[in-house]
């Protein structure tokens, strides 16, 4: 491939990706990233022993969908590799009890903006002060 072709291809890919908002969730482009980010920034799990969990969404159920808001029941697998994991520690000794991973469920409330975008307002479950 010639340098000019490579530059043209890179430019086209950059322009094409500008409109992409991220993975779709409940029929809304980019919503998966917003839910996961809200959770990552606020949640803790297992009685505050896992303070920086990350979620992988396994299923979503729409509980309410109106012009003003959307309410979602989100089931997910979570894992915290900062404060603990299920692997043995440095010398084959596990620190903590049971590691920091599991399955859980939370309800997320999202507000619709005048432009129709969804903004995560709250979630159930234990969380840090934001």
Q: Higher model confidence: residue 109 or residue 13?
A: 109
pLDDT at 45 over 80: yes
Place of tokens 């000794």: 93
pTM of the model: 0.75
As to burial, measured by CB atoms within 10 angstroms (0-12 exposed, 13-18 middle, 19+ buried), residue 88 is exposed
Place of tokens 């808001």: 69
Domain borders along the chain are 23-123
SS3 category, 4: helix
Secondary-structure class of domain 23-123 per CATH: alpha beta
SS3 category, 130: coil
Give residue 22's pLDDT: 75
Quickly state the pLDDT bin for 53 (edges 50, 70, 90).
Answer: very high
């Amino acid at each position: 491939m010639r340098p000019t072709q490579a530059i043209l291809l890179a430019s086209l890919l950059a322009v094409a990706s500008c409109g992409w908002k991220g993975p779709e969730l409940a029929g809304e482009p980019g919503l998966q990233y917003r839910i996961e980010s809200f959770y990552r920034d606020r949640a803790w799990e297992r009685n505050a022993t896992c303070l920086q969990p990350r979620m992988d969404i396994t299923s979503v159920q729409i509980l309410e969908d109106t012009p003003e808001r959307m309410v979602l029941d989100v089931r997910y697998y979570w894992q915290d590799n900062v404060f603990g994991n299920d692997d043995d520690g440095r010398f084959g000794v596990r620190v903590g009890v049971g590691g920091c991973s599991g399955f859980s469920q939370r309800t997320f409330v999202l507000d619709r903006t005048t432009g129709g975008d969804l903004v995560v307002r709250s979630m159930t479950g234990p969380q840090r002060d934001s």
